[in-house]
């Protein structure tokens, strides 16, 4: 089974625009189990924080309770304990949590909308790809 870590941009983009590649990724996860999502508590906290920003909330699609929607995703995901420290992968130290979760959760991919992560291309054997590339890999 394919395992992937998704950065916060993917969840926020999916909540705002479900028809775009991030929305398709979440839909494939929720409907068909096309892959497994790996996340850590640090990722959960960042996504919840991002979804609560007023500048984001005003764009979330009508009728979507973003916190409940994300909780459904978390419950279906593989949550890692984040025991392994991993630093220096990205230019932005805040992004290292995605690589650390991928290593600990034995994920093959980090799917990112963040240019600092995407610039890495690969780290510790983990491919760091855009949502479109990940969908192509899934055979969308």
Sorting pLDDT into bands at 50, 70 and 90, what band is 78?
very high
Measured distance CA(14)–CA(60) in Å, rounded: 9
For 36, residues 6+ apart whose C-beta sits below 8 A from its C-beta are 1, 2, 3, 4, 77, 78
Q: Per-residue pLDDT averaged across 94-118, rounded? A: 92
How do residues 119-139 score in pLDDT, each as one tens digit? 989 988 999 999 999 999 998
Q: What is the pTM of this model?
A: 0.92
**6-53 pLDDT per residue, tens:** 999 999 999 999 999 999 999 999 997 789 999 999 999 999 999 999
pLDDT at 133: 97
Amino acid 67: pLDDT: 94
What's the rounded Cα separation, in Å, for the pair 98 and 80? 11
Mean pLDDT within 57-69: 94
Please answer whether residues 100 and 114 qualify as being in contact, where contact means their C-beta atoms are separated by less than 8 angstroms.
no
**Please, what is the average pLDDT of the chain?**
91
| 82 pLDDT higher than 70 | no
Q: Residue 16 is encoded by which pair of tokens?
A: 């705002």
Question: Taking a C-beta distance cutoff of 8 angstroms, is the pair 103, 84 a contact?
Answer: yes
Q: Where are the alpha helices (DSSP H) in 20-125?
A: 21-32, 41-52, 54-57, 66-76, 96-104, 115-118
Closest among 6, 2, 22, 13 to 131, alpha carbons compared: 22
């Amino acid at each position: 089974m394919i395992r992937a870590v998704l950065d916060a941009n993917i969840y926020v983009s999916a909540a705002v625009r479900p028809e775009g590649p991030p929305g398709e990724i979440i839909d494939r996860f929720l409907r068909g189990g096309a892959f497994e999502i790996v996340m850590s508590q640090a990722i959960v906290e960042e996504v919840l924080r991002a979804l609560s920003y007023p500048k984001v909330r005003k764009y979330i699609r009508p009728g979507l309770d973003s916190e409940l929607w994300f909780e459904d995703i978390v419950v279906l995901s593989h949550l890692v304990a984040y025991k392994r420290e991993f630093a220096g992968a990205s230019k932005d130290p805040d992004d290292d949590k995605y690589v650390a979760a991928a290593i600990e959760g034995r994920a093959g991919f980090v799917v990112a909308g963040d240019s600092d992560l995407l610039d890495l291309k690969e780290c510790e054997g983990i491919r760091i790809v855009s949502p479109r590339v990940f969908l192509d890999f899934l055979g969308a």
